[in-house]
Amino acid sequence: MSGRTEGGAKDRYRLHSAACSSSSISPSPTAHESAYSVPMPIRQLSETMINQIAAGEVIERPASVVKELVENALDAGASRVEIVTAGGGLNLVRVTDDGSGIPEKELALAIARHCTSKLAEDIHDIRSLGFRGEALPSIGSVARLSIRSRTASGDSAAEIGIEGGRVSAVKPAAANRGTTVEVRDLFFATPARLKFMKGERAESSATSDVVKRIAIAFPSVRFTLAGSDRSTLELPATDDSAEGHLRRVAQVMGADFPDNAIAIDAMRDGVHLAGHVSIPSFSRANALQQYAYVNGRPVRDKLIAGAIRGAFADVLPRDRHAVTVLFLTLDPAIVDVNVHPAKADVRFRDPGLVRGLIVGAIREALANAGIRAATTGAAGMMAAFRPGAASYAHPGPANGHRSYEAASRASGFAGFDRSPQRPLDMGFDGVGNGGFRENDQAAFDAGPLHSADARAGHNEASETLLGTALGAARAQVHENYIVAQTRDSLVIVDQHAAHERLVYEALKNALHSRAVPSQMLLLPEIVDLPEEDAERLAFHSETLARFGLGIERFGPGAVAVRETPSMLGETNVQQLVRDLADEIADNDTVETLKGRLDRIAATMACHGSVRSGRLLKADEMNALLRQMEATPGSGTCNHGRPTYIELKLADIERLFGRR
């Protein structure tokens, strides 16, 4: 259907209306006696009422008006979009674009219900942002709307207005090519709606969020958002290259994002995932800075949000959130973007695939990024501290590891085996023994005494150490901070945070690389469940067994649990099994058990790690640094804080005015 061919949808609407008002299909008055005291005949709603009902769904608040108008501008191929608001958008929203414009004879259709120039032949192949032909008539039914537009071929512009559903005649107007849509007095025609508005500040910030969200997907379009009710947001056009995308993201997220982000690029079964995620130490207190797009359309989707949380579960505490920009590209036939009129929800045909792709790609990227701490972003001296990766980036993580290996062998550190297959043998207190000895102060030499070490820096082993990512340990200060030196920087390590992380990674490796020890229950515990849940659990019984949970079918609608993971101790088996069933139903994975075990590992790691205040010998400090280099994710502690910071020699020289 093409709304631009005169009449189309409108005629059908009238046809529909005539059929509905036919008295022959009215029910007999007695049919509803119990429900209605006064029987009413069925009548067709007025067009304005229909539009107002639609507006109730599509136009929730000023930000929804902005979203619809900006999407229209982008669908019209605009390269510049200017947005002005007043009174939080309730008094005024004006969007001006330089797009294709609307021909004068189509202005009336643009504000008629179900009239669109965009719908493809197939509802499953939607490539524009709009497609319902609902936004303009909905807005026009609850506000005062005017559209002024001029096409490339048009000699002059034309204008149409609609106020609370009443349409005015098309008039000539003066304008450049493109379209200006002005919405005044939003919800004046539906005062009940007005009561739900949260106040100017909240509405303004919801609008900013909408504009940023869309702008990230259209880097080659220039956006401005201004008005008496806000500070101006200006996003100059970049371009559609990967680099241009990142520059647009930086305009929205802040200039320090690219320095603290890891690129994601992964493909699985025809689904492509690209974008950036922050390193863990660059986290936020809420998830507002998580942007997701499906085939270029901004979405807010529970599945995607959950997958991001899952991917970061190991490196961030529950109340911290990564900053993410993720673009999913997939065949439009296997994703439904048509779920809700506000179009923020999507439904994937294969949710497990999408979740697995996101979790897998982010985890891999985090692991490959290796140790890396955040830039502080603070002013003054702290601004000179660089992420660990800065020195690391040049040889690349792989080289960094290799040079570590060489160094480690050359200097022959004992008791530290970096093999992931033997994580429990690494010799830290509380896990194995050796390495860090408590109360071994006599053996400790630090501070100025290390000048000896510094001189020894001329020997071969120490020379190699300077070339590693975290360098050669020189001193321990305040009984918790290891000061190390690389060829071109000074590194400060928080030994407690670093060690806690290392122990956690080691424990987790042990858990996931071999079967977890289990304990037999004296009597098997029978858990009654809906049949589908019992079925699902039985299907995953082999995986569950790897985690130490022995489970089998026990007739229809029940399972028997014979073994539980020893680490869980006395556990509520019924609750565990039900949570697992829910988890599997939701995600088709067994995250719950894995998550529980990981949390136990984290708790044990905290108890087992070197407390601050422990004095360390030089070789112990160096061993800790080497272990950090070899352990993915060790740049942040279990709570998402950096485990070390790095100050470049050049920056130190600048601080002293030598440069």
Report the interface residues with ligand ADP, using CB under 6 A.
68, 72-73, 76, 97, 99-102, 110, 116-118, 130-136, 179
C-beta of residue 641 within 8 angstroms of C-beta of residue 281: yes
Choosing among Mg ion, ligand ADP, none, which partner's interface includes residue 110 (Cβ < 5 to 8 Å by kind)? Answer: ligand ADP
**133/471 with CB nearer Mg ion:** 133
Tokens describing residue 142 = 């609850």
Provide, rounded to whole angstroms, the least separation between the CB of residue 337 and Mg ion. 14
Choosing among ligand ADP, Mg ion, none, which partner's interface includes residue 323 (Cβ < 5 to 8 Å by kind)? Answer: none
**101/130 with CB nearer Mg ion:** 130
**135/323 with CB nearer Mg ion:** 135
Helical (H) or strand (E) element with 279:
none
Q: Which position has the token pair 């920056």? A: 651
Choosing among ligand ADP, Mg ion, none, which partner's interface includes residue 116 (Cβ < 5 to 8 Å by kind)? Answer: ligand ADP
**100/518 with CB nearer ligand ADP:** 100
Provide, rounded to whole angstroms, the least separation between the CB of residue 134 and ligand ADP. 6
Provide, rounded to whole angstroms, the least separation between the CB of residue 7 and Mg ion. 20
The CB-nearest residue to ligand ADP is: 130
Choosing among ligand ADP, Mg ion, none, which partner's interface includes residue 100 (Cβ < 5 to 8 Å by kind)? Answer: ligand ADP
Provide, rounded to whole angstroms, the least separation between the CB of residue 102 and ligand ADP. 4
Give the separation between CA 432 and CA 424, rounded to whole angstroms.
6
Helix axes 62-75, 135-142, angle to 10 degrees: 140
3-state secondary structure of 52: helix
**342/558 with CB nearer Mg ion:** 342
Write down the H helix ranges in 316-424: 351-369, 389-393, 396-411
Choosing among Mg ion, ligand ADP, none, which partner's interface includes residue 486 (Cβ < 5 to 8 Å by kind)? Answer: none
How far is it between the farthest Cα atoms of the chain? 104
**179/204 with CB nearer ligand ADP:** 179
543-547: long-range contacts, CB 8 A cutoff, minimum separation 24: 543/590, 544/580, 544/590, 544/593, 545/515, 546/515, 546/516, 547/516, 547/590, 547/593, 547/594, 547/597
Contact residues for Mg ion, defined by CB under 5 A: 72, 130, 135
Cα–Cα distances (Å) from 230 to 59, 250, 320, 400, in that order, read: 21, 21, 28, 47
**130/548 with CB nearer Mg ion:** 130
Give the separation between CA 61 and CA 143, rounded to whole angstroms.
12
DSSP string, 195-235: TT---HHHHHHHHHHHHHHHHHH-TTSEEEEE-TTS--EEE
**97/591 with CB nearer ligand ADP:** 97
Give the separation between CA 235 and CA 222, rounded to whole angstroms.
6
Give the separation between CA 245 and CA 4, rounded to whole angstroms.
34
Provide, rounded to whole angstroms, the least separation between the CB of residue 341 and Mg ion. 11
Choosing among ligand ADP, Mg ion, none, which partner's interface includes residue 230 (Cβ < 5 to 8 Å by kind)? Answer: none
Choosing among ligand ADP, Mg ion, none, which partner's interface includes residue 494 (Cβ < 5 to 8 Å by kind)? Answer: none
27-35: long-range contacts, CB 8 A cutoff, minimum separation 24: none
Provide, rounded to whole angstroms, the least separation between the CB of residue 9 and ligand ADP. 11
**65/346 with CB nearer Mg ion:** 65
DSSP conformation class of 385: E
Choosing among ligand ADP, Mg ion, none, which partner's interface includes residue 76 (Cβ < 5 to 8 Å by kind)? Answer: ligand ADP
The CB-nearest residue to Mg ion is: 130
Give the separation between CA 174 and CA 243, rounded to whole angstroms.
39
Query: What single letter denotes the amino acid at residue 640?
Result: G
Provide, rounded to whole angstroms, the least separation between the CB of residue 139 and ligand ADP. 8
Do β-strands 80-86 and 222-226 pair in parallel, antiparallel, or remain unpaired?
parallel
Provide, rounded to whole angstroms, the least separation between the CB of residue 66 and ligand ADP. 12
Provide, rounded to whole angstroms, the least separation between the CB of residue 130 and Mg ion. 3
